[in-house]
Amino acid sequence: MSDLISWKWRLHPHHQTLPAVLLCGTLQLFDTHAAQAHALGVFVTLDCTSIDVDARYSNGKRARAGTISLFDDRDILVVERPVSPDTATRIPFETANMLRGFRVVVDTGSHDDYWIVTPDDLSESCAQQARGVVAGEEK
């Protein structure tokens, strides 16, 4: 063991920093991995009259507090609501500006993420709902 210790100190001064660099790199790798383990994901479900916003951490747990903000296509805040702690948050469409697409941002204070809804997403959602209503009336 003493041979190993004495060998380590006989290294060139520049090489003595190598173990420290490797250690720092390893710690940075673990730190990055730990941060990714708690990422927030935003999921949006649409119909023609409202949207459901669900925010979950990468471990599957629902965000229980925070703010949901909807921005129109010009990046103007249209709607702001608190996150529902036990279920997806339902937000009615309150303005025609949202028909041109919008961005849903969830901010929990320590994490944030967003979902972009395009006009095509909205028209497809309304078309699906219309087909479902027509199919329901045909029965």
pLDDT of amino acid 27: 39
pLDDT of amino acid 105: 97
pLDDT of amino acid 95: 59
pLDDT of amino acid 109: 92
Say if residues 65 and 48 touch (Cβ distance below 8 Å): no
CA distance 102 to 95: 11
Question: Can you give the residue ranges of every domain in the chain?
Answer: 2-35, 39-138
Ranges of the chain with pLDDT below 70: 1-37, 94-97, 133-139
Domain 39-138 CATH (choose: 1.20.1250.20, 2.60.40.10, 3.40.50.10190, 2.60.40.1930): 2.60.40.1930
pLDDT of amino acid 83: 96
pLDDT of amino acid 100: 86
Q: What percent of the chain has pLDDT over 90?
A: 45
pLDDT of amino acid 7: 42
Tell which residue, 43, 44, 55, has the closest CA to residue 111: 55
SS3 assignment, position 4: helix
